[in-house]
Amino acid sequence: MSLESIRYTRGKLEILDQLLLPLQTRYVKVQGVEDGWRVINKMQVRGAPAIAIVGCLSLAIELEKDNCTDKKIMRQEIEGKLNYLVSARPTAVNIKLAAEELINLANVLSAAENVTPNDFKERFISSIESMLAKDIEDNKAIGNYGCEAILSNLEGDGQVRILTHCNTGSLATAGYGTALGVIRSLHASKRLEHVYCTETRPYNQGARLTAYELVHEKIPATLIVDSMVSALMNLRKISAVVVGADRVAANGDTANKIGTYQIAIVAKHHGVPFYVAAPLTSIDMSLTSGEKIKIEERPDREMTHIGEHRIAAPGINCWNPSFDVTPASLITGIITEKGVFSPEKLNECIPT
Amino acid sequence: MSLESIRYTRGKLEILDQLLLPLQTRYVKVQGVEDGWRVINKMQVRGAPAIAIVGCLSLAIELEKDNCTDKKIMRQEIEGKLNYLVSARPTAVNIKLAAEELINLANVLSAAENVTPNDFKERFISSIESMLAKDIEDNKAIGNYGCEAILSNLEGDGQVRILTHCNTGSLATAGYGTALGVIRSLHASKRLEHVYCTETRPYNQGARLTAYELVHEKIPATLIVDSMVSALMNLRKISAVVVGADRVAANGDTANKIGTYQIAIVAKHHGVPFYVAAPLTSIDMSLTSGEKIKIEERPDREMTHIGEHRIAAPGINCWNPSFDVTPASLITGIITEKGVFSPEKLNECIPT
C-alpha cells in the first residue's frame, strides 16, 4: 500500500519525518503554524504539494484550538500566519497560491454578514481539509494522463523504461505522487519494465525517498548517481524522463530540483522525451518566463556533510542552489490533472 | 606551493596518506619494498602513475641501503622485489609496465662487463628517480600547453573560469597534475578567476581530494554537485572544462571518470570548450574507438554508503559504472606534453 506521509484528523496532524528516512520511520506532531513553518523549513516535509498541504493544515490545527469570536481579528491572523508559512521555502509556488486562495476566502467569510464566527472557522477549516483529498485525486489523474501519453509514443505494446529525478511520490504529495504517480500508473498497467532513479545530490531525495517508495511498492528499479544519466541513456534505451515541478511559468519554463535542467539537456541530446508532471496549482501564470523565478540557495553543510560525517575538504567554498530552471524548449509535455500540454499550449489549461 | 603527495630524497621516501584526507594530513615513511607494497595495497597512495612511482621508489630506498657487491644477486633480488610490488594492486597496469622496463634494465646492467656493482646500483636508482622528475615535467608541459590553448580562445586578456571533474592533481600523479596542472598554470599566469570542481559521485574524489588541493594552494574555488554543471554554465560564463583521462582511443574517444560524458554534452549545449588533459602514455592507438573500451562496474556499496553510514534505501538495486566514454565529437582538444591536438589529429602526436 501507498506510504502515508501526512496523517490528519480534525485537530490532529502528524507528518512522517523525511529527514530520518530511509533508516527510521517516525512521525512528528504539528501543533500549529510555528511547528508547520519549522517542519517545512527543516525539510522534514518536502515536495511542493506536500508543503502547501502541511502548511495549511498546520493553520487548521491552530484555528481549531482558537476561541476568537471576532471575525476581523480572525481574518487578520489568518493572513499574517499564511504569509509567515509561505516564507518557510521561497521557491515552492503551491503554498503561495494556496495561501492567496485562503486569504480570499477569509476576506469573503469575514465580510459576509450572515456568516457567524463559528461558521467562518468551520468553513475555513473544511476548505483546508478538502485540499488533502483533492491532491490525491489530482495525482491519480496526472498518473493516468502521463501513462497514456508515454504509451502513445510507443510502437506496439512494448514495455517502457523510465528515468525520474528527486522524489515526487507519496512523500512529496498528499499521496500517490506526480511523476512517481505516472510511474505507478505505468506499473499498474503492466507496461513498466524498469525505473531508474537518480540519487539527487546534495540532499539525496532519490536515494533516500524515491528508492524507499519504489522498494516499498515492489516496482523494479535501479538507483544511479546524477552524473550517470548520460551513460545510461547511451547504453540502454530509455523511453521517457518524468520529473516533477516546483513551479511552472506561463511559457512552460519549469523550476524543479537542481539537476533537472541537466537531465533535460542530455535527454534532448539522446532523443528521449522529457515530461514534467505537475498539478495545475504548480503553474504560475503570473510569471511570464522562468527567468523571473527566484532560486533558493541552501546551506553549504548539505553538500559538505552526510549527517555528522564531513565528506568535503575543510575550507572549500560551496554553491548550493536548490533548484534550476528547465527552459520550455527542452520539455516534451507538461502532465496535469486536466491532460498533457505542450509548453506553448499551457494557456489552454489555465485561463490567464 | 604544490601539494607534495610523494616526498623523496635519495635514501628517504614519505607519502601523504590519502586514506586520511581531507580531514588529516599525515605522511607515512616508506623504508623499503614491504612498506611500498603495504601503502599501495591499503590505498594510502592511489592514481596509476603515483602507484608506479611509489612502488619503484620503495625499491630504490631498499637498494640504497644494500651493500651487495654481486651483480647477479642484485639482479635476482630486483626482479623478485618488483614482482612482489606489482602484486599489491594486480589491476594497476602502470606499475607492471614500469617493473618490466626496470627488469630489462637490470638484465642489461648485470650482463654488461664494464658496469661495476656500484655503477649498477647508481644507474638503477637514478633510472627510478628519473620517473618522478619525468612525470612532473610532463605534467608541467601539459599545464602550459593547456593554459595557452584556453587563453588563446579569449578575447583580450580577461580572466578565465574553469570547471573540472574528479581528481587529476598532485595526489594522482607524481606532482602538479594533468587537468589540475592546467588550472595551476592558469593560476600561476594570474589569468584564473575561479575554478569550479564537481564533487564526483559516488567516490567523491572532487569533494575530498580536488577541493583539498585547491584549498591548499589557495586557488579560488567552489565545490558543486555533479548535477549543478548545467545551472552553473547557464548562470555564470565558464571559459572551459578541463578533465583527465583514463584512456584515450586512436579516434579521440575518451574514457574517464563517470560523469565526464554528461559534462561534455552540457558543455556543447552551452558552447563551452571541452578539453581532455592526458600524458601520451594514456593514449592507446591500438584502440580504434571508445566502443571497444570495457566499462568496469564497481560495488553497490560505493553508492549506498558513505563510510559506515547508509545513505540509500535498503533493498534498492544500483548500477555503478566507474567511467564513461566521451565521444571525440564532444572534445575540443586533447592536451598532451607534446601540445594540444584535436581528436582527429591525435595520430600526429603518436606514430601508429
What is the distance of C-alpha B220 from the center of its chain?
A: 22
pLDDT of residue A77: 96
pLDDT at B1 over 70: no
> Mean of the pLDDT values across residues A223-240?
96
Q: At B49, is the pLDDT very low, low, confident or very high (cuts 50, 70, 90)?
A: confident
pLDDT at A294 over 90: no
Q: Do A234 and B261 touch (CB under 8 A)?
A: yes
* Strand pairing report for A160-164 and B305-306: unpaired
pLDDT of residue A307: 83
**Structure-model confidence comparison of residues A3 and A101, the more confident one:** A101
How far apart CA A97 and CA A101 sit, in angstroms, is 6
In the structure grid, which three cell numbers stand for residue A305, read together?
556533510
Q: Do A261 and B231 touch (CB under 8 A)?
A: yes
The enclosing H or E element of A188 equals: helix A179-188
> Mean of the pLDDT values across residues A129-136?
91
Q: Which residues of B47-84 are buried (b: 16+ CB within 10 A; e: fewer)?
A: bbbbbbbbbbbbbbbbbeeeeeeebeebbebbbebbeb
Q: Do B223 and A319 touch (CB under 8 A)?
A: yes
- Where does residue A243 rank: exposed (0-12), middle (13-18), buried (19+ CB within 10 A)? buried
In sequence order, what are the residues at sequence separation of 6 or more whose Cβ sits closer than 8 angstroms to the Cβ of residue B153? B239, B240, B273
Residues of B in contact with A228 (CB under 8 A): 258-259, 262, 319, 321, 324
DSSP annotation of A275 reads E
Q: At B265, is the pLDDT very low, low, confident or very high (cuts 50, 70, 90)?
A: very high
In sequence order, what are the residues at sequence separation of 6 or more whose Cβ sits closer than 8 angstroms to the Cβ of residue A96? A86
Residue pairs between chains A and B whose CB atoms are closer than 8 Å: 192
In sequence order, what are the residues at sequence separation of 6 or more whose Cβ sits closer than 8 angstroms to the Cβ of residue A90? A294, A296
Biggest alpha carbon distance in chain A?
Answer: 67
> Nearest Cβ partner of A319 from B209, B228, B265?
B228
How far apart CA A218 and CA B255 sit, in angstroms, is 35
pLDDT of residue B89: 81
Q: At A244, is the pLDDT very low, low, confident or very high (cuts 50, 70, 90)?
A: very high
How far apart CA A52 and CA A82 sit, in angstroms, is 10
Crossing angle of helices A33-41 and A71-86, in 10° steps, is: 10
pLDDT of residue A351: 60
Average pLDDT, chain A: 94
The alpha carbon of residue B34 is apart from the nearest alpha carbon of chain A, in Å, by: 31
Of the segments A154-158, A345-349, B167-171, B216-220, which one has the largest average pLDDT value?
A: B216-220
Q: Tens digit of pLDDT for each residue in B63-106? A: 999 988 999 999 999 999 999 999 998 666 678 889 999 999 99
Q: Tens digit of pLDDT for each residue in B296-347? A: 888 999 999 988 889 999 999 999 998 899 999 999 999 999 999 999 999 8
Q: Which of B246, B253, B284, B300 is catalytic?
A: B246
Cα–Cα nearest to A79, from A102, A61, A112, A113? A102
Average pLDDT, chain B: 93
Q: Tens digit of pLDDT for each residue in B101-146? A: 999 999 999 999 999 999 999 999 999 999 999 999 999 999 999 9
Residues of A recognised as catalytic? 246
Q: Tens digit of pLDDT for each residue in A147-170? A: 999 999 887 778 999 999 999 988
DSSP annotation of A254 reads E
